[in-house]
Amino acid sequence: MPANAARKLDADVSEITAFRRDYEERQAELAEEIAIDAVDTELFSDKAAADAASAKADAKSVAADRRAQALAQGYTGNMCGECQNFTMVRNGTCEKCNTCGATSGCS
C-alpha cells in the first residue's frame, strides 16, 4: 500500500469518528429535549387536573351553600330542574319551584 493511501485512510477514519461523535452528541441532545417535553406535558396535565378538581370543589361548595340557605328559608333544599334555583317548596306529594313554577315530576 503506498504511504499516501494509508494517510488518506487515516483521514477518512478520523472523519468517520468525528461524524459518529457528532451524531452521538446530537442523539443525547434529542433525548434531553424529549425528556424536557415529557416533563412539560406532565406539569401541564397535572395543573389542568388540579384546576378542574378545584373548580369542581368550588361548584360543589357553592351548591352546598345555596342548599343550606334554601333549607334555612323553608325550601326543601332541592334544585329546580328548570331554572336551577334552590327554591323548591312542598306541593302535596311533589315539589314546586317558587321561582319559575315548575314542578318535580307531577304537573
Q: For residue 80, state whether it binds Zn ion (rule: CB under 5 A).
A: yes
Q: For residue 97, state whether it binds Zn ion (rule: CB under 5 A).
A: yes
Side chain identity at 97, as an amino acid letter? C
Query: What are 39's three cell numbers?
Result: 416533563
Taking contact as CB under 5 A, which single stretch among the options 16-24, 34-42, 59-67, 89-97 is the one that binds Zn ion? 89-97
Q: For residue 83, state whether it binds Zn ion (rule: CB under 5 A).
A: yes
Torsion over CA: 8, 14, 15, 20 (sign)? positive
Q: Are 73 and 86 in contact (CB under 8 A)?
A: no
Interacting residues toward Zn ion by CB under 5 A? 80, 82-83, 97, 99-100, 102
